[in-house]
Amino acid sequence: MPVTALAGRVQPLGRILVEPADNLSPDLFSGRQPRFGHQSGHRGPFDRIRSRAPERPVCDGRFAAAQHAKRRMHTTHRRRRMGLLADRVAVVTGGGDIGAAVVSGLRQHGADVALWDRQPQVLEGLPDGVAGRVVDVTSDSEVASATDAAIDAKGRIDVLVNTAGVLTSASVAEMSTDKWNQTIEVNLSGVFRCCRAVVPHMIKRGSGSIINVSSTGGLHGAVDHGHYCASKFGVIGLSESLALEVGQHGVRVNCICPGAVSSEMNTAMLTAMAASTGSSYEDFEESIVNKTALRRLVQPADVANAAVFLASDLSSCITGVALPVSGGLS
């Protein structure tokens, strides 16, 4: 049946009325983008469809879902023009190679970023748009105070990326209790403290993305790294549990599991491991590279790209995931 004939039969659909075809908006056939902004929400191609009860349209579930999807798409398109993370406020813990790359990636995509690190020198010379604060993630009071200050300054925290961590090597038989405790305190308890401080605020706002940097050492064990692997396994377990707790409030929690990263911390560890085996650093690194499908080390920017993805609306239906960024390390 022709459109004009169908629309000419004015049929009331519940409380929504479709007017005759003569009064249809020319936008429907002109190729122009349909207009937005009606009492009942997003107006579709039939620009003169109107509700007699805009405060509560019929077919609430489907109609509301369609409106929400269209508004989200419109917002996503706007953010892509301005940056995937435009209007987002992010906190990054740890200013090492990975943390610095994450800060740069978030800024590049439009986020307003704060960097927390326990070493003041790391916070010197930060780029424009990045606020620095000295924070020790092993301190309950410092994490709580920094969280309150960030919210007071920006009004909210939309994204939390926990990259702060330490990496040392020792066999279980030879490991000191202090070394064990330090690794767990920074790598696992530090993540816990930051999540605990930020989660209530995100729940109150009904949105947020938490990204915890674990490791491929959190997916399988490694010789002389029992303490490190225990901490990184714990980060994944904490993240998966938290994702289940806060998902109903619109908050997402995910992990990134980098493999062998070309970073200062990883280089120091590989150097020590090479020395212990009597190999040169170059030969030892090559042996690691040969175990990856892509035949290269992970760059900090690779981890940052994953963080940007998980922080953005592109991953809006992803939570409770431990994402390997390892180049296919076997």
> What count of other Cβ atoms lies within 10 Å of the Cβ of residue 168?
16
Q: Where are the alpha helices (DSSP H) in 44-91?
A: 60-82
Q: Helices 226-246 & 177-184, crossing angle to 10 degrees? A: 30
The number of C-alpha atoms within 13 Å of 194 and in the hemisphere containing its C-beta is: 35
Q: Which of 62, 27, 69, 21 is nearest to 47 (CA)?
A: 27
Q: Which amino acid is at 81?
A: R
Tokens of residue 16, six digits: 């929504």
Which of 225, 253, 249, 146 shows the shortest CA–CA distance to 193? 146
Largest CA distance in the chain: 87
Backbone φ and ψ for 211, nearest 5 degrees, come out as -125, 115
Paired tokens of 165? 């961590």
Residue type, position 151, single letter: I
* Residue pointed to by tokens 């926990």: 162
- Tell me phi and psi for residue 157, to 5 degrees: -130, 115
**Cα(107)–Cα(113) distance, integer angstroms:** 7
Catalytic pick from 228, 233, 284, 309? 228
* Dihedral (CA of 194, 101, 306, 106) sign: positive
Q: How far apart are CA 257 and CA 323, in angstroms?
A: 6
Tokens 């377990």 correspond to 237
Residue in this structure with the two tokens 């790391």, named with its chain if needed:
122
228 is catalytic: yes
Encoded tokens for 36: 């937005």
Known catalytic residues?
A: 228
